[in-house]
């Protein structure tokens, strides 16, 4: 009985984990877990379109929806159009939707997949050896991480989600707005009071 009570208390605490400011009354995205404390995103390199190497540092100053997927993963394929629509809803200076292919598919195969589903807002990012995925503790596909404009991983969702739906927008919107505010008003409020 005592073990069951403790398990229920832990479950309620996890469900009640705080999200971004103002999101308490918003609809919740199933399986989204807010990290407390957030952890820094790694700087491990990964190939981008044109086979150049980059890192998550290139997105610093923007909120990031980082989705690990594979062309052979049915739930990954099913949610990809919603990620494309999410990317189209926000200013790319405020939010980057990074769909990181975790399989060995080359650029041509990824571009052909995007064309087949009509994706217009997604870039080609690859993690074929899963170095970045391991650094971020990704153990299943699809997995999506939310990263704030300071480069901190603030939330993680394992499984498929409707990324352009009301609950996802309630989670992602405040992060994009914080990135926009920091970009438009880079001086902290406390510093302007002096």
pLDDT of residue 31: 93
Q: How far apart are CA 105 and CA 119, in angstroms?
A: 17
Whether the CB-CB separation of 60 and 151 falls below 8 Å is answered with yes
pLDDT of residue 6: 32
Helix (H, G, I), strand (E, B) or coil at 163: coil
Parts of the chain with a pLDDT under 50: 1-18, 21-23, 194
* 82-93: pLDDT as tens digits: 999 999 999 999
* 134-157: pLDDT as tens digits: 999 999 999 999 999 999 999 999
Q: How far apart are CA 4 and CA 9, in angstroms?
A: 9
- CA 29 from chain center: how many Å? 13
Question: Is the N-terminal amide bond of 25 cis, ω within 30° of 0?
Answer: no
Q: How far apart are CA 124 and CA 134, in angstroms?
A: 19
pTM: 0.84
What domains, with CATH codes, occur in the chain?
Answer: 30-182 (3.40.30.10)
Whether the CB-CB separation of 78 and 141 falls below 8 Å is answered with no
């Amino acid at each position: 009985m005592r073990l069951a009570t403790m398990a229920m208390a832990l479950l309620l605490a996890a469900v009640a984990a705080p999200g971004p400011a103002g999101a308490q009354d918003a609809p919740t995205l199933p399986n989204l877990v807010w990290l407390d404390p957030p952890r820094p995103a790694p700087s491990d390199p990964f190939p981008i379109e044109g086979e150049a190497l980059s890192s998550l540092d290139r997105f610093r100053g923007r909120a990031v929806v980082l989705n690990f997927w594979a062309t052979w993963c049915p739930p990954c394929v099913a949610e990809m159009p919603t990620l494309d629509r999410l990317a189209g809803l926000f200013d790319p200076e405020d939010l980057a939707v990074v769909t990181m292919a975790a399989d060995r598919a080359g650029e041509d195969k990824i571009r052909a997949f995007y064309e087949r589903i009509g994706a217009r807002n997604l870039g080609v990012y690859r993690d074929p050896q899963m170095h970045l995925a391991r650094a971020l503790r990704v153990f299943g596909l699809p997995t999506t991480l939310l990263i704030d404009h300071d480069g901190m991983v603030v939330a993680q969702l394992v499984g498929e989600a409707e990324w352009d739906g009301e609950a996802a927008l309630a989670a992602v919107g405040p992060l994009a707005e914080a990135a926009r505010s920091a970009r438009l008003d880079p001086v902290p409020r406390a510093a302007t009071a002096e």
